[in-house]
Amino acid sequence: MSKQEALWGGRFSTGAAERLQSYGQSVSYDWRLYKYDIRGSIAHATMLKEIGILQTDELNQIVTGLKEIETLIDKGEFQWRQDREDVHMNIEAALTEKYPAGAKLHTGRSRNDQVATDVRLWIKDQIQTNQKAIRALQLSLVKWGERDKTVVIPGFTHLQRAQPVLLAHHLLAYVEMLERDHERLADCFKRADVLPLGSGAIAGSTLPLKRELVSQLLGFSKVSQNSMDAISDRDFVIEYAAAAALVAVHLSRLSEDLILWSSAEFGFIRIGDAYTTGSSLMPQKKNPDIAELARGKSGRVIGNLMSLLTLLKGLPMTYNRDLQEDKERLFDTADTIQASLEIFAEMLGDIAVNSNSCRKAASDPLLLATDLADWLVKQGLPFRKAHHAVGEAVALAEKTGTPIDQLSIADLKKISSVFTEDALSVFSIEKGLNARLMTGSPNPKLVEAQLSRWLSSLT
């Protein structure tokens, strides 16, 4: 029997061109689905025994052989062959060589529904792995917030100093972002948790396959309801890639903050030596390379999403070989965000904060200009007029070179008669933070409560 006949039967009179074999193979990357392929095959064989296709001794041979192959792969002793195209044919061919009953294993299934099942099983596990890493990073951020919960920094809009906030409040913003990531992945899990096996190549099978039994054996919560959709559906892959792209974007934004904060111009933090690199030319350099790499890798993850969307956009029903191209993009996305999440969780535990630099940067009285406008509002002045009056005070301070909190009341009264001596009392960071009592604000007590809440839920 020729190599091509072994793959897809007697339709072809000649073997495949050598270049076709190397061009069309996917085993060089889809081999990593082997555990899921074996799990799916054992469940399928169990079902075939249930409907009388396999005898008990044949099922035992198949299960024994598949477990032996899994052990060999685990040990790195299995020989993957490109002339067998993919992970499925490599495993099935190796099984059949030793156990003749293996020739019955493919009864009632196609490689189309087989790979769809493998990828769904793989992605379900990957989602749970990513979620654990997200939780670890959230905990690292919360612990950092606990370590430095009294540190005040300037909050920024347009990368310009805006208002003072607690560093912990800033870090908790990323905890919230990551929580949404965790939720999106959980939602993606629901769409992946559907069994396609039994759909065949397009129209199911004339055999009395018990798909619900296979679904139960493999831990799926649902069985697909349309055979054509089941084998062509890669929405769950794109949904995962989209959720992962947002994880990557959030890590990129965190990276940018860390890069800025660690610069000499900011001087807010110092990243530990274990998570920085030097320069091959300049001996004084200490570079935040992990953050820069994560910022750069986000482009890869976003690109993978675009690639997958483009892959699907022009495909007719049902399975098309184009879909083989989904796995490299999927695997790269999963590997990239998992590695980034893990190393960030470690790195954040090795960051020291320069509280004096942070305090100095947050002490510019102009950061409390909005508080001064709020004070005028409390005296009955409409906000637009209050905003204009404080704007004039800022202009006067800049023109005279006088800090706004040191302008005389006489000067302020020339701007608005509403000003009194008490107006200058707003120029206190502590008073400003404590005055923010609404939910979600950087009030120290509220931030403390948020830290406690998150610490409790993450440990």
The pLDDT, as a whole number, for residue 21 is 80
Q: How do the domains of the chain map onto residue ranges?
A: 3-107, 112-360, 365-458
| Distance separating alpha carbons of residues 355 and 261, to the nearest angstrom | 12
Q: Is 300's pLDDT higher than 70? A: yes
Q: Is the pLDDT of residue 371 over 60?
A: yes
Q: Which of 144, 141, 147, 154 is nearest to 357 (CA)?
A: 154
Report, as an integer, the average pLDDT of 197-205: 97
Could you tell me the pLDDT band of residue 370, with boundaries at 50, 70 and 90?
very high
What is the mean predicted confidence (pLDDT) over 434-457?
97
Mean pLDDT of 107-136: 98
The per-residue pLDDT for 2 is 45
Report how far residue 262's alpha carbon sits from residue 250's, in angstroms, rounded to the nearest whole number. Answer: 18
Asked if the bond preceding 117 is cis, omega within 30° of 0, the reply is no
pLDDT, one tens digit per residue, over 6-62 is: 555 566 666 677 777 889 899 999 999 999 999 999 999 999 999 999 999 999 999
Helices 235-262 and 111-147, packing angle to 10 deg? 30
Instruction: Please write the tens of the pLDDT for every residue from 394-409.
Output: 999 999 999 999 999 9
Catalytic residue among 22, 28, 263, 279: 279
Place of tokens 């995962």: 240
Residue in 13, 158, 280, 456 annotated catalytic? 158
Q: Would you state the pLDDT for residue 279?
A: 81
What pLDDT sits at residue 183? 98
Q: What's phi and psi for 155, nearest 5 deg? A: -80, 150
Percent of the chain with pLDDT over 70: 97
Percent of the chain with pLDDT over 90: 92
- Report whether 108 contacts 198 (CB < 8 A): yes
Average pLDDT score, the chain: 95
Q: Is the pTM of this model over 0.85?
A: yes
Query: Given this model, what pLDDT does residue 285 score?
Result: 84
Residue 296 and residue 60: Cα distance in Å, rounded? 50
Which one has a higher pLDDT value, 242 or 10?
242
Instruction: Report pLDDT for 173.
Output: 98
How many of the other CB atoms lie within 10 Å of CB of 135?
A: 18
* Superfamily name with CATH number, domain 365-458: Fumarase/aspartase (C-terminal domain) (1.10.40.30)
Q: For the domain 3-107, what is the CATH code?
A: 1.10.275.10
Pick the CATH number of 112-360 from 3.40.50.80, 3.10.560.10, 1.20.200.10, 1.10.10.60: 1.20.200.10
Closest by CA to 408, choosing from 398, 392, 395, 397, is: 397
Band the pLDDT of 259: cuts 50, 70, 90: very high
Least confident of 113-127, 274-288, 303-317, 369-383: 274-288
pLDDT, tens digit (0-9, with 9 covering 90-100), for 176-199: 999 999 999 999 999 999 999 999
Q: Is the pLDDT of residue 175 over 60?
A: yes
Encoded tokens for 130: 């990513």
Alpha-carbon distance of 63 to 81, in angstroms, equals: 22
State the Cα–Cα distance between residues 353 and 418, nearest whole angstrom.
41
pLDDT computed for residue 334 by the predictor: 98
pLDDT digit string, tens, across residues 128-167:
999 999 999 999 999 999 999 999 999 999 999 999 999 9
Averaged over 351-378, what is the pLDDT?
A: 97
279 noted as active-site residue: yes
pLDDT at 281: 86
pLDDT in tens, 69-107: 999 999 999 999 999 999 999 999 999 999 999 999 999
Cα(71)–Cα(65) distance, rounded to whole angstroms? 10
